[in-house]
Amino acid sequence: MNRKVFIIGASILCLILIVLLGYFFLNSGQKKEDLINKPSKPLYIQPKLQQEIVFPTYNYDSQKLRDPFAPLIVKREEIKKGAFPLESYDIEELKLTGIVKDKNISLALIQAPDGRFYILRENDRIGFSGGRVIRILKDRIEIKEENKKVRYLKLRTEE
């Protein structure tokens, strides 16, 4: 058993000796000052010259194009029971097809998108924005909506 302990101890001693000799042989060419003063990486790295990035510019003309934030699909409001049929359409969907004027009364003939015709008088409701017919003129009707906006439906001549 003494022999096994001796062999193990001698092997460990040889390994330690080999590691120490390798360390001294590898570092023998450098001085201690070089090891202390020499940084492992350069402190300042020159940045590479980069090209300037140019982004394209866009101009949006709000007079000619639609509002980009307005939804593309607009859900129609349901017709209220007992409401005038033209309240379920937008004013731009309706077509003014005729106007009749007399001394006392003015009437307008409106065609809905479904093909039906309706007769309007002043103060009748029209459009789902809460519009009312203010005046019926000889070539157009004036509509005032709840949001205080005045809109017109013009009479078009067909060719």
Give residue 59's pLDDT.
80
The token pair at 9 is: 């101890």
- DSSP letters, 51-100, are PPP--------TTTS--TTS-SS-PPPPPPTT--GGGGS-GGG-EEEEEE
Q: Is residue 49 part of a domain?
A: no
Contacts of 125 (CB under 8 A, 6+ apart): 83, 84, 86, 87, 131, 132
Q: What are phi and psi of 145, to 5 degrees?
A: -95, 170
How far is 17 from 11, CA to CA, in rounded Å? Answer: 10
Q: Is residue 131 part of a domain?
A: yes
Q: Is residue 60 part of a domain?
A: no
Using a pLDDT cut of 90, give the percent of the chain over it.
8
- Give per-residue pLDDT as tens, 111-138: 988 889 999 999 888 887 788 899 898 8
CATH number for 115: 2.30.30.830
Q: Is residue 55 part of a domain?
A: no
Domain that holds residue 136: 85-154
Q: Is residue 43 part of a domain?
A: no
How far is 29 from 110, CA to CA, in rounded Å? Answer: 104
- Give per-residue pLDDT as tens, 13-66: 899 989 888 887 777 665 555 556 665 666 666 666 777 888 888 787 778 788
Q: Is residue 58 part of a domain?
A: no
Question: Do residue 89 and residue 32 come from a single domain?
Answer: no
What's the length of the chain?
Answer: 159
